[in-house]
Amino acid sequence: MDSNATGPDVPRMGGHGGEGRAETGQAQRWGVILAGGDGTRLRPLTRRIAGDDRPKQFCPVIGRETLLGQTRRPAALAIAPERIVTVFTRSHERFYRPLLGAAPAAPPVIQPENRGTAPAILYALLRLAAANPEAAVGIFPSDHYVSDGAVFMAHVAAAFDAVAGRRTPSRRRNPGPSHGSAASGRSRSRISLEASGPGAACGTAS
């Protein structure tokens, strides 16, 4: 990843009004949408639908809305839109550029190239940890179809609450073997994951 990539260099925010967007205790809810894949396996289908080689997340594979739009919309039921970060790949700029500024959202993370899912997640989490160390983060792939976004996001909200419950001072001092965290001794950063149903994970970066 290069140092010139755009990241969510945004200040920590206070409470956000609106249904379904309550803060999870001391940790704030953030979302990361993964939209940097090349979509090579579905390219024959997406080329037939869109008439070009756009990756599947920018294509209306099911219905009239793109897969990315079908991911963003339900995510906003539990996470304030300005705390939803989307990871793009620079070579897809002609497809994602028209989306920037079209709706409230955190500044995107732009990868210089697609290196797979794990680097995209790590890159976004490192940027969020630098901007907001107390963030609780949900990871959302943009190529998964969810038939009922409201039900799905209710499970995600429950996972956020579970993460918040694990962030009490006593538990953070004495994490058990089932805590599911990975710590870096030098940076003293910890990423703790909670499953939140198919296609997403919630966790904290601190």
Angle, helices 67-75 vs 149-166, to 10°: value is 50
Region 12-18: mean pLDDT is: 39
pLDDT tens sequence across 124-146: 999 999 888 888 999 999 988 88
What is the rounded CA–CA span in Å between residue 87 and residue 91?
12
Using DSSP's 3-state secondary structure scheme, residue 177 falls into: coil
Using DSSP's 3-state secondary structure scheme, residue 9 falls into: coil
- Bridge partners of 84, per DSSP, are 31
Residue ranges of domains in the chain, CATH in brackets: 28-38+74-173+181-205 (3.90.550.10)
The token pair at 125 is 């989490």
- Bridge partners of 140, per DSSP, are 33
pLDDT tens sequence across 155-195: 999 999 888 887 655 444 454 444 433 333 333 344 433 33
Backbone angles phi, psi at 7, to 5 degrees: -135, 170
